[in-house]
Structure 1
Amino acid sequence: MSMNRLKRQFHATAPQQKMVTDITYISEGTKFHYLSVIQDLFNNEIVAWQLSERNDVARQ
């Protein structure tokens, strides 16, 4: 786990100044899918996302 560098200071004054990430687990019957997103806090734009059947960095 990384340090909390934002310290709850979420306001950004320029694009790509502050980016956050999140992983959402999506249940489908007995399987899970994992949605990972990267969000720019300047305008709340999702700048990247990946949907995977695995919760790791392996490419499918």
Structure 2
Amino acid sequence: MSKAKGAVKKTTSKSVGATAGKGRRKGPQPALYQDPKSGATWSGRGRAPGWLASVKDRNKFLIG
């Protein structure tokens, strides 16, 4: 019975470890939004900065 539990643990840990690192970007991301007044930029990742947090339509702040 302990062999069966060990086999389940091994397969579970392999499947979790195999998918844990996929899909993650590493390093700095390019800026997607820019504040026209201050020139500050934001990549769109994480918490929105104060100058963009209260805006409903962010299209006017898009770069490009």
Could you say which TM-score interval applies, normalised by the shorter chain? under 0.3
Q: Which is richer in helix?
A: 2
TM-score, normalised with respect to structure 2: 0.23
Larger radius of gyration: 2
Q: Which is richer in strand?
A: 1
